[in-house]
Amino acid sequence: QVQLEESGGGVVQPGTSLRLSCAASGFILRDYAIHWVRQAPGKGLEWVTVISYDGSNKKYAEFVKGRFTISRDNTNNTVDLLLTSLRLEDTALYYCVRRPQAYGLDVWGRGTMVTVSS
């Protein structure tokens, strides 16, 4: 079964860091670009970042401002998202999402919740 599973979320204080991880099963991760999309409680979807299939190309949303770093390990079929300098407004459910070439965001994980609170 094709699926993505996020982990690493939790409750943290402002200014601290957190590493999220996305594990793929049922397909070969290295064949796909992987995105992270977040959703604050009761709000809409917000795109965060993408990493190309081989890790050579990364893009970030403007609000990231150098605080987040995406990486991947195709050998272990995982993609990580390092969140640093966390702010209250980073509180959200973070989804890991697959995107085949010339297609939409077709496989979504269930998300991992990040809560930034003092």
Partner 1 sequence: SLELTQPSAVSVSPGQTARITCSGDALLNLYTYWYQQKPGQAPILLIYKDVQRPSGIPERFSGSTSGTTATLTISGVRAEDEADYYCQLADSSGIYVFGTGTTVSVL
Closer to partner 1 at the Cβ: 66 or 104? 104
Three-class DSSP category at 63: helix
**Sign of the dihedral through C-alpha 104, 110, 111, 115:** positive
Angle, alpha carbons 38-43-46 (nearest 5°): 30
Candidates 24-32, 74-82, 84-92, 96-104; binding stretch for partner 1 (CB under 8 A): 96-104
In the complex, minimum distance from the CB of residue 41 to partner 1, in angstroms, rounded to a whole number: 12
Q: Rule CB under 8 A: say whether 19 interacts with partner 1.
A: no
Candidates 9-17, 19-27, 37-45, 77-85; binding stretch for partner 1 (CB under 8 A): 37-45
Candidates 22-30, 69-77, 83-91, 99-107; binding stretch for partner 1 (CB under 8 A): 99-107
Q: Rule CB under 8 A: say whether 50 interacts with partner 1.
A: yes
Give 14's Cβ-side CA count (13 Å radius).
5
112 and 93 Cβ atoms separated by less than 8 Å: yes
Please return the burial class of 24, using the count of CB atoms within 10 Å of its CB with bins 0-12, 13-18 and 19+.
Answer: buried
In this structure, what token pair is assigned to residue 115?
């809560």
Q: Rule CB under 8 A: say whether 5 interacts with partner 1.
A: no
**Which residues in this chain contact partner 1 in the complex, by CB under 8 A?**
35, 37, 44-47, 50, 57, 59, 61, 95, 102-106, 108-111
